Chain A
Amino acid sequence: MSAVFDIIASAGLWAAVLRIATPLILGTLGALLCERAGVLNLGIEGIMTFGAMIGWLAVYNGADLWTGFLIAAIAGGLFGVLHAALTVTLGLSQHVSGLGVTLFASSFSYYVFRLLVPVAGTPPTITPFQPIHIPGLSDLPFLGQAIFSQTPPTYAAILIALALAYLVFRTPLGLAIRMTGENPHAAEAQGINPMVVRYGAVIAGSALMGMAGAFLTLSAFNSFFPTMVQGRGWICIALVVFASWRPQRALLGALLFAFFDGFQLRLQTALGGVVPYQLFLMIPYVLSIAALAVMARRARVPQALMQPYRRGER
């Protein structure tokens, strides 16, 4: 029991929580944005993988870190165009199309990586984002280490979450996105083009997913290896439901999740190998399933989610 208290009382845990949460925040926001417009984007796992790879590759070849981040976002956006073309223009099954994008983006990223980066004994690394020092705040006892010693992308992710919350609920664009996700025919009847809105939301959301992946290789770790995303994309999809499609709740959900993940990592070390480590690693996935079971019926789903919009057809 004291082990539990020690862990919670350590500033290191909270610093880890924010770090672990960052890709989840960005990924969940990206998926949320797509779904608010009515499109389920199961390409997230693949887009995160590709974003991780391409961001890292850009930096490995001399770009600076923010440029790498941006390139990952653009790559994500391009996969978003692909997914949107399949699901919005052609109206194909969003499930299968998303899975196809994931399979394509992942395999494509491994192919490119293997082609351009020779196999070596130790994987090549780059210098990732460093924690920034905020004068005054970073020197606070406990809080300084816990919250105010993060890398820039983490702070960016939190800002993006707050910005998205404002956008979705307090701007005309946000209302147009929500209406498209609830009833695209109604949106059309008010002069909005649901296809354009869906394309925009999917591209922007996919860009966020790309950034989520890039955080893994440019900040959390410093190298890329296949299967490094480890299902985080799917966890984000579950978190969107858990957050009831609200950006503020997505932020909280990701943090809550990251807390459990960070906690289990430290508990593993504390308990010193008595319990198989795999049980601890299972926790995020099991929690996600539990979160879905709890929230699925209660959450107000955007009513037109998964329904292709075909002009004129009712």
Chain B
Amino acid sequence: MRFERREHRPVALVIATPLIAVAAALAIAGILIAIAGAPVFEAYWNILKGAYGSRLSATETLTRATPLILTGLAAAVAFRARLWNIGGEGQLYLGAITVAWASSHFIGTWPSALQIPALLIMGAVAGMILLLVPLWLRLRFSVDEVVTTLLLNFVAVLVVSMLIDTVLKDPTAFGWPQSQSVADAAMLPKLLARSRLNLGLVIAVVLALVLAFVQSRTVFGIQSRAAGLNPQGAVFAGVPLGRTLVVVACLSGGLAGLAGAVEVMGVKGYVTTDLSPGYGYSGIVVAMLANLNPLGVVVAGLFTATMFVGADGMSRAMGIPSYIADVIVALSLLTMLIAVFFTQYRIRR
């Protein structure tokens, strides 16, 4: 059995790949649900109901999609240039804590129109800085950024934990450690009253559109794509590799930091060490499901949020551990990889 490279990729197949991947993941996870002794279709129906069955759940799904879209964009931008940013989680946390710190200690008295953009920028910058360290290590010492970004995730969460325990400790919170809150003026306006759905979603979608434009129409877009596809050829053609990667890192780290900022300013208003249930890592799956396409990231982010929110509801109703959502998302990554492979190669005897 050999694999032969396809000359032409049928367009229909390329569009269908994420759907096939998701279907396969759901099928495999279905087996796990069945082994747990639960009826599979009822379980999936309950996931859908859990995600969209009521006004509350639907807005919750959209709210949960926001950080996933942002970390998905962060991963997509980076992976396209072959910068393996697995540090989205840590960058998110740093963005979150920066926003909490700045608003509770420095600019909390600013009016919303100024404070909100300022905080968003600060959160993005915090994320950028965290990613620039591994990038520097790669450019200067040839260190693979996969491991360094991963290790820094743990460092970042520890930093946040430390700050919450000391400088940013909220004295009014009982028991569970949390940071001081951001000012009221810093909270993102709600999109829908009596829900958690906030402006963050709009910000995420707008950024996806901007990124799509930048990648397909700008000089930076074509250069960063060349850098990811063939770094040696890109250098020969005069693409400034180092500079391009720095910009990519700023975009990627910035988006992840922004995800943290938006989570704080849009939902809870303060930071805890369990602020993110793995958004950074899920963002990677979102990016891969979207085939690194920014517009696809919006759809894939929504799908992932559906799984997470839906599984919570399903778990309450049927007793199947909500971890099944994480399993489905992880399987989707693997099935997507395999599906993409088969759009590029065919089997030969």
Contacts and interface: CB of A to CB of B under 8 A. Distances in A.
Interface of A: 42, 82, 86, 90-93, 95-97, 99-101, 103-104, 106-108, 110-111, 114-115, 230-231, 234-235, 237-238, 276, 278-279, 281-282, 285-286, 288-289, 292-293, 296-297, 310-312
B137 A292 contact: yes
Given A110-B321, A111-B326, A281-B158, 20 more contacts: A86-B338, A90-B3, A90-B337, A92-B338, A95-B84, A95-B146, A96-B284, A97-B337, A100-B330, A103-B281, A104-B327, A107-B323, A107-B329, A276-B165, A278-B159, A282-B159, A286-B151, A293-B137, A297-B141, A312-B2
Instruction: Give the size range of B's interface with the partner.
Output: 35 or more
B333 A276 contact: no
B180 interface: no
- Which of B36, B150, B324, B338 has the most A CB atoms < 10 Å from its CB? B150
B323 A99 contact: no
A86 B288 CA distance: 15
B323 A289 contact: no
Nearest to A280: B158
Contact of B337 (A92, A231, A276, A285): A92
A289 B137 contact: yes
Nearest to B38: A115
B166 interface: yes
A115 B137 CA distance: 42
Interface of A is mostly: helix
Interface string B16-52: 0000000000000000100010000000000000000
A234 B165 contact: no
B172 interface: no
A296 B341 contact: no
Contact of A115 (B36, B154, B288, B329): B36
Contacts of A100: 330, 333-334, 337
B54 interface: no
B85 to A, nearest CB: 11
19 contacts: A86-B337, A90-B338, A96-B284, A104-B330, A106-B326, A107-B327, A108-B327, A110-B323, A110-B326, A115-B36, A115-B321, A231-B151, A234-B147, A235-B151, A278-B165, A282-B154, A282-B159, A293-B141, A297-B142
A285 B155 contact: yes
Contacts of A93: 337
Nearest to A275: B162
